[in-house]
Structure 1
Amino acid sequence: MLDDFRSGRRVATTDHQALDPRERLSGDDPAGWSRYDTPGSTVYISDTDEIAFAEVLAGYALKLGTKHPMQKDADFMGMSLDDYIKGIDDDWGNNVKRGCLARHWRDRRRAYHLTLNGAGWWVDVEHPDSIAAISAGIGAKLNAEFDIPQLTLGILHGENRAATTMIATWIREQVLEDGSRPLGIHFASKHGGGYCWAYWLRRRDDGLDGDDMTSDSGTEIRDNDPALLTVTKRFGIKVW
């Protein structure tokens, strides 16, 4: 158990904002859910701007061993890829694909600063004791349903959303030694370099106001943002 969160960063769309995630419904297919979603509402927070961008931009990263999708067009025009991209009309940005991040993506999002104004405990899901507790609690079910003979970091960092969301749902339902329930899950970003928290909006899910997690109004994401440029360079994404 950890009590290590005071504030963090999140990149989210302006229509949903930082504390209005899509609600997940029990019985829905979790294949499209995020790693530690549960029925109800889950907010993901990162310890740095770089990790926050990495978490939302991973889907735009170039696939291993592939060229940028616009390289062929740049070659045809006898231009470098960077120079070719500079001449692209903004309207093209509505056709976002891997390796591309147009202005409209940034215009629809903000970088938010979230603060926890209360106390509570997070489950360090990757700690050996947590892995042992999960294995004792639902190990047989994980094995029976997903053919997982042993719970490891490979499973926790993997892409089997049915498994990771089952684990998250079980953790969410636990009562801790002090009688409280966990705030959420603390975990390492699979992209490296930092940590994330999956926070469950329990009061919202119960139809109540006044959650202990609050957010500012967000800041504009500019094309020269240092954290954005660091992450897009790592992922092979061109920004305009």
Structure 2
Amino acid sequence: MYRVSVAKHGRGPLNPMERPANPVVDRRDWNRFDTPGLTIYGADQRATAFTESLAYKAPSARGYAALAEEARFLGIGLDELLADLRSAGMPVDGMDPDWRLDREIYRLKFPAHPWVDLTHPDTVVAIKASGIAASDRMSLADLTGDDRALTTAAAQWIRAQRLDGGTQPAGLRYPSKFGFSEGDYCYAGFIAEPNSGCACTGSEFSATDPDLAEAVKRTGVHVS
């Protein structure tokens, strides 16, 4: 699994913000599958890990379409257009060099615990039957949507389960909103304490990294 994370003293890929267990806490500013305790995110492929790290800055679909049309008209790639616009001082969503220089891309290796596939029909049925959310309906679209009250409750319920042999799930896996291909899942991993739960190695990345360029194409977010 790959994860893009801040690489500073006291911060790192295994030191996410701890979420409280208080049930009345407003979860609207939580990440999609955060649970009480510690949750970290990653993806099977480097490009998808970069994509997910840029997702919160992505322009609207209408804004992305306008950028893509301009790039086609000029006969250049979207990443090149975004770089040109930012160089010209145009207000284009993007990340300054400090964002990239403060981060590394990490390779995480979790113990051999099972991951719960959020897209599997049995998972959807089990969550629906659990009664965790007083929702009028509960489909895969809802479970992977933007309603934090529902998505975090589903993740919290999964974290509390014990699978065959009493094993706790390592976390859950789900498709990226920017597109999915077989073998390229995103992950929300459950860890008990900061800087624990899996082995990790990090490396710096440049603004011309091909996987970062792919993420720029997917999101429309330029990285200097």
Q: Which TM-score band (shorter chain)?
A: 0.7 to 0.9
Residues 1:152 and 2:142 are matched in the alignment: no
Residues 1:168 and 2:170 are matched in the alignment: no
The 3-state SS of whatever aligns with 1:29 is coil
Deviations along 1:35-65, one digit per CA (max 9) or x if unpaired, are: 1111000011200111101111012212222
Give 1 or 2 for the bigger CA radius of gyration. 1
Q: Is the 8 A contact 2:82 2:92 kept in 1?
A: no
Superposed, which structure 2 residues align to 1:73-112 within 5 Å?
A: 82-83=83-84, 85-86=86-87, 99-112=93-106
Residues 1:239 and 2:218 are matched in the alignment: no
Aligned length: 203
Alpha-carbon distance in 1 for matches of 2:140, 2:206:
35
Residues 1:19 and 2:14 are matched in the alignment: yes
Per the normalisation by structure 1, the TM-score is 0.77
Residues 1:181 and 2:168 are matched in the alignment: yes
Q: CA deviation at 1:84?
A: 5.3
In structure 2, stretches of 5+ residues that fail to align are 71-80
Q: CA deviation at 1:235?
A: 2.1
In structure 1, stretches of 5+ residues that fail to align are 1-7, 72-79, 89-96
Q: CA deviation at 1:177?
A: 2.7
Query: Which amino acid is the alignment partner of residue 33 of structure 2?
Result: Y
Query: Which amino acid is the alignment partner of residue 200 of structure 2?
Result: S
Query: What percent of counterpart residues are identical?
Result: 35
Per the normalisation by structure 2, the TM-score is 0.82
Q: CA deviation at 1:129?
A: 0.7
- 2:44 aligns with 47
The 3-state SS of whatever aligns with 1:154 is helix
From 190, 198, 213, give the equivalent of 1:213.
Answer: 198
- 1:92 aligns with none
Deviations along 1:175-234, one digit per CA (max 9) or x if unpaired, are: 2231122111111112213311211112x17xxx8x441111x11121101011111123
From 60, 63, 82, give the equivalent of 1:63.
Answer: 60
Deviations along 1:4-58, one digit per CA (max 9) or x if unpaired, are: xxxx100011132111111111223211111111100001120011110111101
Pair 86,215 (structure 1): closer, same or farther in 2 beyond 3 Å: same
Alpha-carbon distance in 1 for matches of 2:30, 2:109:
24
- 1:35 aligns with 32
